[in-house]
Amino acid sequence: GLVGSAILRKLNSEGYDNIVVRSHAQLDLTRQADVEDFFKQENPDYVFLAAARVGGIGANSEYPAEFFYENATIALNVINAAYQNDTKKLLNLGSSCIYPRMAPQPLQESYLLTGPLEQTNEAYAIAKIAAIKMCSYYNKEFGANFISLMPTNLYGTGDNYDLFTSHVLPAMIRKIHEAKVRKEPVTLWGDGSPLREFLHADDLASAAVMLMEHYSYKDIGEFINVGSGKEVTIKQLAEMIADV
């Protein structure tokens, strides 16, 4: 996926060569027995948990049960298997949608569970919150070293441009590009006022590898935000893409 491939590129560029990867076709992480067999066979020392069922507003709204089940099950299976097989460190990747819908900007880690979630992606957010808490509980009870990283909105090499399942930036790029090709107006959802922060997947990968190399959960607490530190409105983003 977008994040996993970026982390792999970063690890390769840093000279790491003893890397084990599996595609979804090779290993279904929702199957507990298969995950446990994989961990017993490979016995990884360090785990980047980048796998997820992801999508845009439309997909999240239409398939909430699937988004919750698949993401929660992936986290439960991988985190527990990592603990059972003495993984030295695990980095769990979440999403900024874990924060309350009306949380103040810029988002701070302390805002978690302080208000209602955005309804359109509540199921995905609850699954991601469960993964954060699971890492925290395993650290507390078992002395594990599992950390969680919450990226802001991502884009980059290998992105998904499907209009139904993609995130806001690639979907907007495709809509505006196709409107230009057809010489037609483009229609976007909402009034354009919400603020969003965007980060290239390769910058996220740099942060993930740095955190894996140098930081434990004792350093960062329950989880840590990773972003660009710069926000734009959806309207500004649309105008920027249209200008390009």
* Catalytic positions, written as ranges: 124
Enumerate the β-bridge partners of residue 95.
none
CB 224 within 8 A of CB 148: yes
